[in-house]
Amino acid sequence: MPAEPQDAHRPDHAPLELERFLPYRLSILSNTVSQAIADDYQARFDLSVTEWRVMAVLARFEGLSAREVAERTAMDKVAVSRALARLVEAGRVNRGTHEGDKRRSVLSLSEAGWEVHDVVAPMARAREREVLAKLDADEQAWLSRILDKLLGPPVPPRSGQPQSGAEATVA
Amino acid sequence: MPAEPQDAHRPDHAPLELERFLPYRLSILSNTVSQAIADDYQARFDLSVTEWRVMAVLARFEGLSAREVAERTAMDKVAVSRALARLVEAGRVNRGTHEGDKRRSVLSLSEAGWEVHDVVAPMARAREREVLAKLDADEQAWLSRILDKLLGPPVPPRSGQPQSGAEATVA
DNA sequence: GCGTTATAGTTACATATGAAACCATTTGCA
DNA sequence: TGCAAATGGTTTCATATGTAACTATAACGC
């Protein structure tokens, strides 16, 4: 028999109820969902989540630089650099050099990359549908709206200055 | 000027729109929120997220075993073991041995542990409030309801058998 | 009782991740 | 021009995390 809550016992300590705590619940949900999808392709294509995200972005926007990929995936540039190294190595991404700025790379999916993409993207979408199927139409609409709000402007700073640094995580 | 979407270009490939993709959005949101909270205590108390979660559970349920902590935090037992090693080392958690079952440990917060808890818990709650403040009352209610549904039964299997293995991630 | 199997917890190894240092190139501007 | 500062990208190092193997104890079947 599991121990019982001590709330009453130590009213002065006001412990968190983890299972009702928003950040905790989000974390569990996010991990569960992402893991379910990753399980579909990870072993099959030897593809990590970060690599897949890079591919997904390059599928929509050809010719991006690594930095632009980082912005659009909300990953930091080190993670992107590593993912790209593996993807290029595996022949899934073509990497050229920007004319006029030799620092920048110019990235796109290769044929092999597209083949992987065209298998993984539908699987990912199917998983998303599975998750959403647990909700009715109303709930789906609210969820979308809520996420828009929560993900929107990082946090309205007291006054007007555009705050710096905060976008590093979300970008 | 950033490249433009290739959707029209390659209608056959149907790329994912990452920024509308539920798993992706959840991941960003979860990371952003958790990170904001962690920033509050990580450096200040040299406390990791997993350690904090263990502490939060022990604050509510005294005398749990490591396995029970793992269940309640949805972390795996290795992570819990490591977190506990550090917490005990730091004098924040007391670890005894269960009478009648010498395999089990009996865990509780020490005085020092409670002191940390009593600073961190209110900070965590305050951050949660900040996030929720972006939503109006309706939206907050829907969010709670939606999370309940999404986090509920892992996934209704076609028929009735209780499926095994799925709880490993959520527990 | 006694061997087999299950359970609590830790350790070892391999991989992933983040921060900071590091090149190379480009930009800003005196 | 020419040099300091900024930018794109990679590498290094330290830390985190997951899987599997391992130890110790307990439970089960006979």
The owner of tokens 């550090």 is: B86
* A2 has a chain B CB within 8 A of its CB: yes
For the domain made up of A47-150, the CATH class stated in words is mainly alpha
Statement: residue B162 has pLDDT above 90: no
Rounded to whole angstroms, how far apart are CA atoms B23 and A125? 10
For the CA atoms of chain A, what is the radius of gyration? 21
Kindly report, residue by residue over B100-122, the tens digit of the pLDDT.
999 999 999 999 999 999 999 99
pLDDT digits (tens, 9 = 90+) for A15-30: 899 889 999 999 999 9
Q: Do B5 and A60 touch (CB under 8 A)?
A: yes
A82 touches strand C (CB under 7 A): yes
A102 touches strand C (CB under 7 A): yes
**DSSP character string of A120-136:** HHHHHHHHHHHHHTTS-
pLDDT tens figures, B25-76: 999 999 999 989 999 999 899 999 999 999 999 999 999 999 999 999 999 9
Please give the CATH topology (third level) of the domain spanning B22-148.
Answer: Arc Repressor Mutant, subunit A (1.10.10)
Q: How far is Cα B170 from Cα A36, in angstroms, rounded to an integer?
A: 12
pLDDT of residue A159: 35
Q: What pLDDT score was predicted for residue B126?
A: 94
Structural domain spans, chain A: 47-150
Tell me what percent of the residues of chain A surpass a pLDDT of 70: 82
